[in-house]
Structure formats: structure tokens, C-alpha cells
Structure 1
Amino acid sequence: MDAAFSYSFSAIRGVQANKEYYVAMCPLRIIPKIFLFDEDEIPPEHRAQRILNKSRIPEITNYIVENNHDYVFSSLTASIDGEIEFISFSEDPSSKDLGQLRISLDSRFLINDGQHRRAAIEEALKVSPEIGSETISVVFYHDEGLTKSQQIFSDLNRHAVNTTSSIGILYDHRDKLSLVTKELVTEIPLLKRYTDRERVSLSKNSPKILALNHIFNTNLKLLGKSKGDQISNDDQKFLFEFWEVLTDSIKEWNQVLNKELSPRELRANFIVGHGVFIEAIGVLGRYLREYHQVDWKKYIHKLSDIDWNRENTESWLGRAFNSNGRIQKTNLTIQLTTNKIKNLLGLPLLENEQTIENKFKQGEM
């Protein structure tokens, strides 16, 4: 192959299933140029599993641009339809798989894994062209006619397991609300002892009361924020005060803390052991912060007088749990649970809350 008419990458050669593949370092500036993106260029039989979710691109782009000193990307995986040649740097057995990968200029490249990263890189280069000389690793598979690309996609994703949102929060050292949530869990005794930092839902035998993502989602509701939004010092102060008052006000939580009640018994018998309750409290807390800035703590303390038992079907059936006794956490059930709590505290419903309540009472949901 004529080197003047080929792409050339320093690469490592490997073997899987008796077939060679190659890992190369590619400058970011060439990623948008060589990988197929326009769906008109991709054969129809390969499009189905590669529909680009364009709403994800700005988030990934911002991640690169805002963290251009410490962003991290995993490898792209791509199929090559065209002539390739691997030239070893040495015939020595210890280094024969280090060499140069040459790919003809008329080859087609199809991303099997990483199309959103590829699109985000293209957008990031428009804002920060200086990152163009930085590199990303690419795993290349030779696939004449791109006939195996769908199977490669399927095989790559078959055993993929997404991390839980709780772990995502635990490992996030950039997002301010994630950091504050972790501080809360570290500093408030009940949360420190009874928060599961990895799972997003708790089994009936879990020794914990809440999952980390429950607390994070509640904080979003308390502040009326979306994930990634900035939070102020006042927001942070409010969150600490709120959780301190709340953990002091839920009698059943303190019974667990004092070993008078087990977490299993709490979940089995009370709605305060479930995410639907705590996120409903987040909605309530935001309302109190806005409409009861002076005396909001008084209403949180009154939560200790409410009957949270699941046998209290008059209050919680159809809201926190369904007719089969199964706890249900959706935006609707969170709001319905909030409505009932406000009613029990003597607080008025907002117009949109009243609309939902009317439909619920009329059996329309």
C-alpha cells in the first residue's frame, strides 16, 4: 500500500477469536473527518442501531470544554471497510505487535461504539480547537462491506452494565450538588449510618433506610434544580438545616437509630422507609422554603404527628402504594403523596396540585 495514499497510525495489534484487531491513538481533530456520521452515508441495514440522540451531545460537549484539563474518554470502536496493512516495528517476538497501521484513503469507517462521543468531539473542536492535537484511543476491526458491524455492536453491548445513579453521584467530584449530598450523608448521623451509597433501590432485607440517589433527587426537588445546575451558599445552608430538622422529626427513623425498630420492619410497615416518601418531602420542602421562609421548621417538626403506617390506607393507598400493597414511585405518586402530607399539615395546595388531586379523587388516574 502506498503510504502517500493512506492513513497511518501507530498501533498495537491484538487477536480475538482468531481475528486481528488494532488499537491506535487518533488525534481528536481527525475524528470528525474519517468516521461516518451523516446517516445518508451509512448503508440502511446498519442504521437501526445507530440513531443519534442529539440531546446528549451538548452535555458531552460541555463536559469536554468545561473540563479540558481533566476530561476522560474511553475508546471508540470502529469497523474498517477497505484495504489495511500492519507493519511491525520489529520482528522481535516481544515487540512484533507494535507497529504502524496503514488504512487506504478510500476506506469507510463506521463507529460501533462511541458515536455520541464522536459528535461531541466535533462540537468541542469548534469551541476549543486547541484540543485537536490531543488523542483518543480507537479500536479498529477489519470488516469488508461492513457486514459484521451490527454483530460487533450487539456483542459490545451484550454484557454492558450501567453503573447505578447512586454510584454516579458517589464518584462525581465536579457536580456541586453531588458533593453537598455526600457531605450531608457524612455529617448527619442517621444518614451516615443508614444510607446505601451504591444501590438505587433497597431490598426488603437491606440494613439501610435510604439510597444515595433518593437523597440527591430530594435535594433537586428541595431546590427546584436540575442535575448540573449551580447551587448557592444559601442553598447549601438550607439543605443542611432541612435534613437536620427532618431526621430529627421522623419518629420511625429515630426508632431505627435507637435500635427499637429494624430497617426491614420500617420498610415493611411504614412509607417513610421508601423513596416515594422522601422525594415527596423534597417537593414539600421547596414549597415551605418559598411560602414559609420564617416558620418552615415548624411544619417539618409536625411530620412527627402523622401516621405513616401502611395500614393507614385512607391516607396512602393509591398515593404511596397501590391496591396490591406495592410501593410505587413515579412523578405522579410523589405529587399525590405530597398533596396528602400538605393536607395533613393544614397547608393549601397550589393550583396544579389541586388539579391533580381533583382527578385522583374523581378516579381519573
Structure 2
Amino acid sequence: MNRPKIDIGISFSGAAGSQFGRNIFTTMIPYKSIESFLKVFPEVQRNVNKARVKAIAEYVLNGVNEKNYCFLSAVTTTCRGEVEYNDQSKTVTIDINSILSINDGQHRVEGIKLALKNLRNQVKKEKSTEEKLILSKKLEHLENMCIPVVIFESMDEQHEQQLFHDLNNLAKTPTKSISLKFDNTDPYTAMAKELAKENDYLIKYGVETEKTQLRDNNPNLMLLSTLRNTISFMVSGSDKDKNNALTLENYDDQKNTINEVFDELFKALPSDANDRKKYIIGTAVTLQGIGKYIHSLMNDDDIVDWKSYVSGLQNINWKHDNKMWNGYGGNYDAEKRKFVFGGTGGGINGVRNALNENNRPIHPHLVS
């Protein structure tokens, strides 16, 4: 490519090509340099979602702190100014007066900037010399990380708006279960995927990893997302685990316990528990409610043998038309011939409360 030489610029390794008559450059820009070049222009972008920015910043910092897999996809930009490519050195040079207008990826960029800001503040406020050194090394590591950037050359505002529209219109958000299927950062998701393949009962009843919902003719008992949340309820009492009840240090022990819980649970549930027309067990609310109930059993100092209470679940009538369930987060719908929960949170607590008030333990020595 023959381009006018840039007098003063910054060069990054990269490549050049064309798409629909437009010159395109790809490069890797270090996190510490994104503030110098990447900018959002309101006329070609939507308003930033601060909650999403914070979530990405947390994701980035977790990747540094815990050495997790942490990936951010390429940011797409248009260059407002001069950019050139050198075939011999394989470098993309951006004029220091040029700005890369972000057309896709502003939340990723803002998340990186917030992560850098937070870590820099931690370094500044840290009093301990040893801890300050550790944080400084993490900051240096983070600043030198790179994000892929695709640069379109010389577009007017109208074309930038069209680029934003096309990038977002053609993108398709994956289902929650598919997202979880490929997520290796969340320990609860990891445990759910492992137990779905290892626990004999979960293998028998099936865990759906592709669909967004289970219809009556789907033979699987639950979605992967439901299994993930049920495990989280069992371990932490919530689907969020804000207190970090599950850590890398206790992961194996917790997994062994949860595996045992599922064994005891499915021994007590009906053998055809995945019949959603017959039982309320196949609803996400019920399974998560059972998870929350089990958490309360395992964390009640007055209960010595939680297994005896789980065994007692065999005497619960799980059928849709059981009047016992009425008032516990929902009601029986005679037309649909199903018990319908009024809401997720209320239903989960309703199931937990129903079991707290109606379940009785079965002691091993009383079982014939």
C-alpha cells in the first residue's frame, strides 16, 4: 500500500487488507496505550452501560488476580486521521494526532480503563512495601496486555453509523446454557459441567446444554444453567455467592460433598423425576428451591444428620395437583394442569419453605 509517510506516529505489529473497497488494518494495542488512541464519539455509538463496564473491569482484574482464562475480543474502529502500513516491517503506524473512533467494543475499552484505574489506586493507597510491590507487578502485567483492534480507514460519520448498526445487528447472543457450556471462569459452571458428566444420576436424567428452556417432550431433567444455580444455592444459599463460599482452595471438597448430595437427593426423588407433566421437580424453580433447602440443612447447627432429611424427601408428594404446594410461591392452574410459580425468587423461597415445614427426616435404623 502506498501511503503518505507519517512524520510522527506510534507503530504496532499488524497486518493490512481490504474489505468491500475499504482498507483495513489489524493490530494489537497494549492496555496502557488505549487511552491515547481509542475514543467514543456519541454520534456513532450508544450510551455506555456503567454496570456492564464494571462487570468487565471485574472480569479483567479477576483474570490478573486468579490467573484465570480471560479473553476480550477485537475492538472495531475507524481511523479519524492518518494510518499507514509498512509491508517490510509488518507494522501499522498511527499518527499521534489521529484518533481511533470505536464502533464496536466501547464497553470492553471502558472496562479495561476502569480496571487500570482501580489497580493504580490500589498501588497508590497500599501502605505495605511488600504488598505494594506485588500490586505494582500486577499493574505492569495488566498494562502490557494487548487487545486486538481492527481499524477501518477514512470513513465519514454516516458510514461509521452504518458500521455500528451492522456489527450489532448481525451479532447473535448465544443462549445462557451455551454461554455457560463454554465458560471456564466461573467455578460453579465448571462444577456443573463436571458433575453432569460424572454423577450417575445426572447422566441418567440428563442435563440440557443447548436449549434455553425445556419443553415437556425434552427428556432431560434440567438446563445446565439450572444445575449451575442449584449447586450455587447448595453451597452458598444464593445463585450469586457474594461471600465466595466456593474457592479454588475448597473446590474439590465442595465438589465431593455436592456429588454426594445429588446421590442422596435422587435416591429420594421419584424414579421418573424428569416427567414434567407429572411432577414439579422438572422446573428450574423447584430444583433451585431444593438446593436452597439443602443449604439450610447443611448449615443448621441443630441438624446433625442432613442425609436423614434428604431421605425424607421420598415422602413428599411432588405432583402438580398436590394442594400442599398452594401458597408456596404459586398456585395450581387447572386449565394447564400444572402448578405455576408466580416468580423465580418467590418460587425458590416457597419451595424451600414448603420443605422446611413439611419434610420429616428418615433415620437409617427406621428404614426397612
SS of residue paired to 1:255:
coil
Q: Classify 1:310/1:158 alpha carbon distance in 2 versus 1 (closer, same or farther; 3 Å).
A: same
Residue 151 (structure 1) aligns with: 162
Superposition map of 1:1-365 within 5 A: 1-36=4-39, 42=41, 44-52=42-50, 53-66=52-65, 71-89=70-88, 100-122=91-113, 123-124=115-116, 126=120, 127-193=138-204, 194-224=206-236, 226=240, 229=244, 230-231=246-247, 232=250, 234-251=253-270, 254-255=271-272, 263=274, 266-291=275-300, 292-313=302-323, 315-316=325-326, 319=329, 323=333, 325=336, 327-328=340-341, 330-345=344-359
Instruction: Confirm or deny: 8 A CA contact 1:112 1:152 kept in the other structure.
Output: yes
Deviates more, 1:22-31 or 1:48-57: 48-57
Tell me how far 1:248 sits from its aligned partner.
0.6
Q: Classify 1:268/1:289 alpha carbon distance in 2 versus 1 (closer, same or farther; 3 Å).
A: same
Deviations 1:203-246 (A, max 9, x none): 22212111222111011111225358334355334312211110
Deviations 1:310-352 (A, max 9, x none): 12255247735674647545112221232223232269xxxxx
TM-score, length-scaled by structure 1: 0.76
TM-score, length-scaled by structure 2: 0.76
Instruction: Confirm or deny: 8 A CA contact 1:32 1:119 kept in the other structure.
Output: no
Instruction: Confirm or deny: 8 A CA contact 2:177 2:223 kept in the other structure.
Output: yes
Deviations 1:245-284 (A, max 9, x none): 1011101xx236xxxxxx4xx1122111121110010111
- Structure 1 residues without counterparts, runs of 5 or longer: 90-97, 257-262, 348-365
Instruction: Confirm or deny: 8 A CA contact 1:79 1:146 kept in the other structure.
Output: no
- Structure 2 residues without counterparts, runs of 5 or longer: 121-137, 362-368
SS of residue paired to 1:271:
coil
Q: Classify 1:227/1:151 alpha carbon distance in 2 versus 1 (closer, same or farther; 3 Å).
A: farther
Q: Classify 1:321/1:155 alpha carbon distance in 2 versus 1 (closer, same or farther; 3 Å).
A: farther
Instruction: Confirm or deny: 8 A CA contact 1:320 1:337 kept in the other structure.
Output: no
Deviates more, 1:269-278 or 1:176-185: 176-185
Mapped partners of 2:49, 2:185: distance in 1: 30
Instruction: Confirm or deny: 8 A CA contact 1:218 1:279 kept in the other structure.
Output: yes
Mapped partners of 1:330, 1:177: distance in 2: 19
SS of residue paired to 2:299:
helix
One-letter identity of the residue aligned with 2:75: L
Mapped partners of 2:257, 2:185: distance in 1: 21
Tell me how far 1:156 sits from its aligned partner.
1.2
Mapped partners of 1:36, 1:321: distance in 2: 53
Mapped partners of 1:322, 1:106: distance in 2: 67
Instruction: Confirm or deny: 8 A CA contact 1:32 1:121 kept in the other structure.
Output: no
